[in-house]
């Protein structure tokens, strides 16, 4: 009978210890913040020795980053939904971005992580490489497919992505207002309005038509009209008469 007893699987035991360490890190970071976070405290709460932690992570920063990536899940396999409806996809992703920021535990952890990367260049670079760059590129790719489908103008995609996420993180970081579903809807609506083909073309056309008509009026009164280096009309001859023909002129 004794010969049939299996030894504990060291792989499973190691994975349990690893998960316990990551969980302890997440909890303590939210409780005490990054500056006061100690590896000894993490080891104590996880029920492991310090050497176990250092066997997997070279320093506290690397451990914190891994704990965060575990928390957000799916890191390394980041995809932006593409249902064919850009507006719906933008709403879905913004909602999934906003929701965690309003959860007390996650918010405390994320603020602590942002504090940590301010003073740790290596940690900041690793977060950028492992999470931010892949996710931002996935977002840019979705904006590009939207442009290819004619749903938005193919303008400055980087600026569009910054506008999309920036409004949320500005409000969250500075606590200028609540992160509500209505706010997220407003952000998506404003972004799409700014990028929708022809959204500003009507006004531009009216301005061009008015300018052209004004030039013709000047010329009919003997005023020579030329364009300066930036396309603005410059009147030569009869400047006083030209001034009187301007809207509001005397």
**What letter does residue 6 receive in the DSSP assignment?**
P
Nearest to 14 by CA among 44, 56, 50: 56
What does the mean pLDDT of the chain come to? 78
Weakest-pLDDT range from 55-64, 73-82, 93-102:
73-82
Q: How far apart are CA 215 and CA 220, in angstroms?
A: 9
| pLDDT category of residue 10 using cuts at 50, 70 and 90 | low
Tens of pLDDT, residue by residue over 26-52, are: 899 888 888 899 999 999 999 999 999
In the predicted model, is pLDDT for residue 241 greater than 50? no
- Opening angle at CA 35, ends 34 and 38, nearest 5: 80
Tens of pLDDT, residue by residue over 80-109, are: 999 999 999 999 999 988 988 888 878 888
**What letter does residue 73 receive in the DSSP assignment?**
-
| pLDDT category of residue 197 using cuts at 50, 70 and 90 | confident
Q: How far apart are CA 81 and CA 141, in angstroms?
A: 11
Nearest to 195 by CA among 170, 218, 164: 164
Q: How far apart are CA 172 and CA 190, in angstroms?
A: 18
pLDDT attached to residue 78 = 65
Tens of pLDDT, residue by residue over 150-192, are: 999 878 899 999 999 999 999 999 999 999 999 999 999 999 9
Percentage of the chain surpassing pLDDT 90?
44
* Chain centre distance of CA 72: 15
| pLDDT category of residue 239 using cuts at 50, 70 and 90 | very low
| Strands (E) located in 101-191 | none
Q: How far apart are CA 147 and CA 170, in angstroms?
A: 26
All residues at 6 or more sequence positions from 149 whose CB lies less than 8 Å from its CB, including other chains? 84, 86
Q: How far apart are CA 69 and CA 76, in angstroms?
A: 9
Which H or E element spans position 227? strand 224-227
Radius of gyration of the chain from its Cα atoms, rounded to whole angstroms: 29
pTM: 0.68
Q: How far apart are CA 185 and CA 92, in angstroms?
A: 10
pLDDT attached to residue 217 = 44
Domains within the chain, CATH numbers bracketed: 12-72 (1.10.10.60), 86-195 (1.10.357.10), 201-245 (no CATH)
């Amino acid at each position: 009978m004794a010969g049939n007893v299996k030894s504990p699987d060291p792989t499973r035991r190691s994975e349990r210890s690893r998960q316990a360490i990551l969980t302890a890190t997440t909890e303590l970071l939210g409780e005490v913040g990054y500056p006061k976070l100690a590896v000894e405290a993490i080891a104590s709460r996880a029920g492991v020795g310090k050497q176990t932690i250092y066997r997997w992570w070279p320093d506290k920063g690397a451990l914190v980053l891994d704990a965060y990536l575990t928390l957000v899940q799916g890191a390394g396999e980041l995809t932006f939904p593409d249902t064919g409806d850009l507006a719906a996809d933008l709403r879905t992703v913004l909602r999934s971005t906003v929701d965690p920021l309003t959860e007390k535990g996650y918010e405390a952890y994320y603020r602590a992580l942002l504090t940590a990367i301010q003073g740790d260049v290596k940690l900041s670079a690793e977060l950028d490489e492992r999470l931010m760059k892949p996710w931002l590129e996935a977002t840019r790719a979705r904006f590009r497919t939207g442009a290819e489908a004619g749903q938005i103008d193919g303008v400055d995609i980087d600026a569009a992505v910054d506008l999309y996420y920036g409004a949320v993180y500005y409000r969250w970081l500075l606590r200028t207002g609540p992160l509500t579903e209505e706010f997220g809807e407003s952000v998506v609506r404003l972004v799409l309005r700014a990028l929708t083909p022809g959204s500003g073309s009507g006004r531009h056309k009216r301005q061009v038509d008015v300018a052209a008509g004004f030039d013709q009026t000047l010329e009919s009164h003997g005023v020579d009209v030329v364009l300066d280096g930036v396309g603005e009309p410059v009147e030569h001859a009869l400047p006083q008469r030209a001034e009187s023909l301007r809207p509001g002129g005397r």
